[in-house]
Chain A
Amino acid sequence: MPGTLWAIAEAGPDGHLTKLSAEVATLVRGLGAAAGRDVAGLVTGTPGAVAAVAAELAAYLPRVVALEAAAAATSPIAQLAAQGAVQAIGADPDASIFIGNSPDGRDTAGFLMAALGVGVISNAGGVAWNGGPVAEKGVFGGRLITTSSFADGHGIVTVPLGSVPAEEAASAGVVETITLAGAAPTVTVLERVSEAAGAVQIEEAKIIVSGGRGVGGPDGFALVGLLAETLGGAVAASRAAVDAGWIPYARQVGQTGKIVKPEVYIALGISGAVQHKVGMQGAHTIVAVNTDPDAPIAEFADLFVVGNLFEVVPALVAELESRKA
Chain B
Amino acid sequence: MKIVILAKPVPDATGQERLGPDLRLDRAAIPPVINGNDEYVLEAALRLRDAGAEVSVTLLAMAGAFGPDALRKGLAMGADNAYLVSDPALAGSDARTTARVLAAALAKLEFDLVLAGVDSSDGASGVVAAALASLSGLPYLSYATSITPDGDKVRIKRFSSTGYDVLEAPMPALVTGMQALGEPRYPTLRGIMGARSKTITTWALADLGIDPATVGADAAASRVSTFSIPDARSAARVVRDPAPEAAKQIVDFLIERRAI
Contacts and interface: CB of A to CB of B under 8 A. Distances in A.
Contacts of A121: 222
Indicate the member of A114, A194, A199 with the most B CB atoms within 10 Å: A114
Interface in A189-221: 189-197, 199, 201, 203, 207
Contact of B246 (A146, A239, A312, A323): A312
Interface in B234-259: 234, 236-240, 242-244, 246-251, 253-254, 257, 259
Given A192-B165, A285-B259, A303 B237 contact: yes
Nearest to A314: B243
- Name the residue among A120, A122, A151, A197 with the largest chain B CB count within 10 angstroms: A120
Given A13-B160, A119-B221, A151-B220, A76 B123 contact: no
Interface of A is mostly: mixed
A190 B159 contact: no
A13 B130 contact: no
Nearest to B143: A103
Interface in A103-126: 103, 106-111, 113-115, 117-123
A78 B167 CA distance: 13
Contacts of A231: 260
Interface stretch (B11-19, B49-57, B72-80, B204-212): B11-19
Contact of B260 (A79, A111, A139, A264): A264
A227 B174 CA distance: 42
Nearest to A255: B121
Contacts of A138: 230
Contact of A120 (B125, B178, B243): B125
A250 B121 CA distance: 19
Interface string A24-36: 0000000000000
B213 to A, nearest CB: 15
B216 interface: no
Given A13-B160, A308-B243, A312-B246, A274 B237 contact: no
Contacts of A308: 243
A197 B224 CA distance: 42
Given A113-B127, A122-B123, A195 B253 contact: no
A207 B15 CA distance: 28
A69 to B, nearest CB: 16
Given A201-B161, A312-B246, A193 B166 contact: yes
A185 B134 CA distance: 11
Contact of B222 (A145, A150, A191, A293): A150
Interface stretch (B60-68, B91-99, B106-114, B184-192): B91-99
Contact of A145 (B142, B228, B253): B228
Interface string B152-176: 0001001111111111111001000
Given A114-B134, A144-B228, A264 B238 contact: no
Given A141-B13, A315-B246, A187 B259 contact: no
A302 interface: yes
Interface string A305-325: 111100110111011100100
A155 B243 contact: no
Nearest to A142: B230
A185 B139 contact: yes
A287 interface: yes
A12 interface: yes
Interface in B119-135: 119, 121, 123-132, 134-135
A250 B162 CA distance: 7
A298 B96 contact: no
Contacts of A287: 250, 253-254
Contacts of B135: 114
B239 A158 contact: no
Nearest to B225: A147
Given A141-B13, A155-B222, A187-B168, A119 B94 contact: yes
A114 B165 CA distance: 25
Given A13-B162, A264-B259, A302-B237, A144 B95 contact: no
Given A149-B225, A195-B162, A243-B179, 10 more contacts: A76-B167, A79-B134, A114-B135, A120-B125, A122-B123, A141-B13, A147-B227, A148-B224, A274-B13, A302-B233
Nearest 5 A/B pairs, CB to CB: A119-B221, A110-B130, A122-B125, A110-B127, A315-B247
